[in-house]
Amino acid sequence: MKLNEIKDNEGARKSRTRVARGIGSGKGKTGGRGQKGQKSRSGVAINGFEGGQMPIYRRLPKRGFKNPFAKVFAVVNLDTIQKAVDAGKLNAEDISVDALKAAGIVSKTLDGVRLLARGAITSKIVIKVDSASKAAVAAVEKVGGKVEVVA
């Protein structure tokens, strides 16, 4: 076999359908859009429109409450930190929000970083975060580490 003899398998590449290019193409005349009317034209966006009837999103009552002051944390779990320490991405003695960001564990800090207790931790770590669950603090302190919650 030579480089100039290499080709794709049969049916690996399918050519694009050229719509509205004559009746011989099979997608001519109306171009697969049916017939006449608003939807046969381009630039139609009638999501939620119900033909003059009151739309369902206006018929149904509003429900629930969205707290405008709620904090949204970036979540970090113990097993993720343990993997990073084992891989040498984090220094176990000094883990901060900036260190987590630099290691690629957290991409956006949002309203801060919260430590959660998923997985197990075996290294003795010192970590500074904005929030932590009780179970995570207990797990870190059990192996001799320390969690500092920065206000």
In a domain, 32, yes or no: no
**Residue that the structure tokens 């944390």 belong to:** 73
Mean pLDDT computed over every residue of the chain: 93
Does residue 37 belong to any structural domain of this protein?
Answer: no
State the residue range of the domain holding 106. 74-149
Domain membership of residue 143 (yes or no) is yes
Contact 90, 99 (CB under 8 A): yes
User: What is the value of pTM for the model shown?
Assistant: 0.60
% of the chain beyond a pLDDT of 90: 82
Asked if residue 14 belongs to a domain, the reply is no
Report the alpha-carbon distance of residue 28 to residue 130 in Å, rounded: 62
Q: Is residue 51 part of a domain?
A: no
- 3 state DSSP class of 147: strand
Average pLDDT of the segment spanning 101-110: 92
* CATH code where residue 96 lies: 3.100.10.10
Nearest to 89 by CA among 125, 129, 38, 137: 125
Strand intervals (E) in the chain: 74-77, 113-116, 126-129, 131-132, 146-149
Give residues with Cβ within 8 angstroms of 143, minimum separation 6.
121, 122, 123, 124, 125
Does some domain include residue 41?
A: no
Q: Give residue-wise pLDDT tens across range 22-59.
A: 999 999 999 999 999 988 999 888 899 988 999 999 99
Q: How confident is the model at residue 17 (pLDDT cuts 50, 70, 90)?
A: very high
